[in-house]
Structure formats: structure tokens, C-alpha cells
Amino acid sequence: MANKESIQRSGILTDKALSFLSFKREFLEKNKHFQSNKIRNYFNVSDNDWNSWKWQLQNQIKTAEKLKEIFDITQHEFEQLVKVSEKFRFAITPYYLSLIQNFNKSDPIYLQCIPQIDELYYGGKIDPMNESNNNPAGTITRRYPDRVILNVTNSCAAFCRHCQRRRNIGEKDIYINEASLEESFEYIKSHPEIRDVLITGGDPLTLSDSCIENILIKIRSIETVEIIRIGTRIPVTLPQRITSELITILKNMVLFI
């Protein structure tokens, strides 16, 4: 049985922890609005547009010049950013940028999306998974016996600096052509041992609803495929994309089984 002193002490510790959590919540909320408002003011954007995934994609921050207008970066950081982005492009949605706390350059989202000069100097491999030598047809990557990757775009709402498919990101958005996709579907169909298809890219949810639906219908119609997965960061980088229409498309694919 705990003694009175221990219970009192535990109560004091709880009060202290709650007081800190309450301060933290208020602080983060206040700064979030400060930053979010600054970014919204910069774009002079209505709530409707801000909540539109298409507006967010059309207004991605993709250049050092634009970032400097919004974010407090030094001239030196600006020059480094220009240098790196000439070789490795970057992009981030206004929404995702607004989540960086207090314009802090140590914030994980800043480090995830905004290029650092080290990218030019620390080697690494352009194709660390050797995927280009595992491409038997169309836009398929096959590295395992019963599953494949289907690459459908090289576009993303935000380009992660650590991306293992950096070689696909390139200099501009590329939407995979119909013929290449058809070749990929045919390959999956003619290999009944493939039971798991991971749709990825880039980020498949940057595609239009009709594109996503067509791809899903095609794969779902292959009887030997049991599992369809979508590799995406959109729920965090562009949650506005998760519309009721998209949810209906995804739900229909589940019911389709």
C-alpha cells in the first residue's frame, strides 16, 4: 500500500507535467497560426483555395527565390539552396511548409524537404536499391518473388531529401504513358505468382481521381493479385487530397474483391 507522502509527491509531479503539456500545446498552437497566417497572407489565399489539393499543388514552393520571400533565410543559405536545387529539384506544398514550427531550420519537416548543401558533397548512390536493373517490363520493378512495384508518376507533393528514387524525380514531372502502363499490367497478368502490387512513384495520389481509379480497376481485374498497396506521403504532405471522392474510389476497390 502506497504511503501518504508518495501519493502527495505523485500528485505534485502530475500537476507539473500537466502544466508543461498545457504550455507546450498553447505555444505550438500560437506559433502554428503565426506561421500559417504568414504563409496564407503571402499567397493571399481564401480558405476554399487553401483547402483545395489542386491549389496546393499549383502553388508548391519550388524555387529558392520563392522560399526566401516566405521564409527567413540568410543570403548564404539562399545561395546554397540555389546551388543544390540546380542539381536536385525541391518542392513543398504551402500547407506542409506551414507546419514547420516557428520557421525553425532544425525542424524535421524543414530538414526533410529543403535542400542542404551536403547533398552535393557526400556521395551516396543514385540508385541504392539497384531498381533500374530490376525492371522486366513497363514501369515495373521486381525485386521479390511474389510482389512488384508499379511506378505511375515521378511527381510528389513534397520531395523528400532522403528519397531512394531520386533518380526518378528528375527535373520535371513525368506522367507515365498509357503504353508503358499497359505493358506493366500485361506483365503482372502473365505472372500469376505475383500476388502483391505496390503502386508508387513518385506519389500516386498526385494523379487525378480518374487516373487512380483506372489503374486500380486494371490491377483489381487481375485475379491472381490479392493485395494492392499505395505508397504515399500525401496524407501528411497534402491531406487536402484525401477527398470524399477519392475515399469512394478506394472503398469501391475494397468492395470489388
Return residues touching ligand SF4 (CB under 6 A).
156, 159-160, 163, 165, 201-203, 233
User: How is the beta sheet containing 227-230 ordered, strand by strand?
Assistant: 140-141, 147-151, 196-200, 227-230
Shortest Å distance, C-beta 88 to ligand SF4: 11
Shortest Å distance, C-beta 157 to ligand SF4: 7
Shortest Å distance, C-beta 15 to ligand SF4: 42
Shortest Å distance, C-beta 253 to ligand SF4: 21
| Nearest to ligand SF4 of 98, 206 (CB atom) | 206
Judge whether 209 and 241 are in contact, CB under 8 Å.
Answer: no
Question: Could you tell me whether strands 196-200 and 147-151 are parallel, antiparallel, or unpaired per DSSP bridges?
Answer: parallel
Distances (CA, A) of 44 to 32, 41, 235: 17, 5, 24
Contacts of 163 (CB under 8 A, 6+ apart): 169
Q: For residue 49, give the C-alpha cell.
A: 483555395
| Nearest to ligand SF4 of 160, 242 (CB atom) | 160
Count how many Cα atoms sit within 13 Å of the Cα of residue 194 in the half-sphere of its side chain. 23
Shortest Å distance, C-beta 129 to ligand SF4: 12
Distances (CA, A) of 133 to 23, 128, 130, 181: 53, 11, 6, 18
Shortest Å distance, C-beta 144 to ligand SF4: 19
| DSSP 8-state code for residue 256 | T
| Nearest to ligand SF4 of 161, 191 (CB atom) | 161
* Max CA distance (Å), the chain: 76
Shortest Å distance, C-beta 247 to ligand SF4: 20
Q: For residue 147, give the C-alpha cell.
A: 510482389
Judge whether 185 and 118 are in contact, CB under 8 Å.
Answer: no
| Nearest to ligand SF4 of 55, 159 (CB atom) | 159
Closest C-alpha among 129, 117, 143 to residue 64: 117
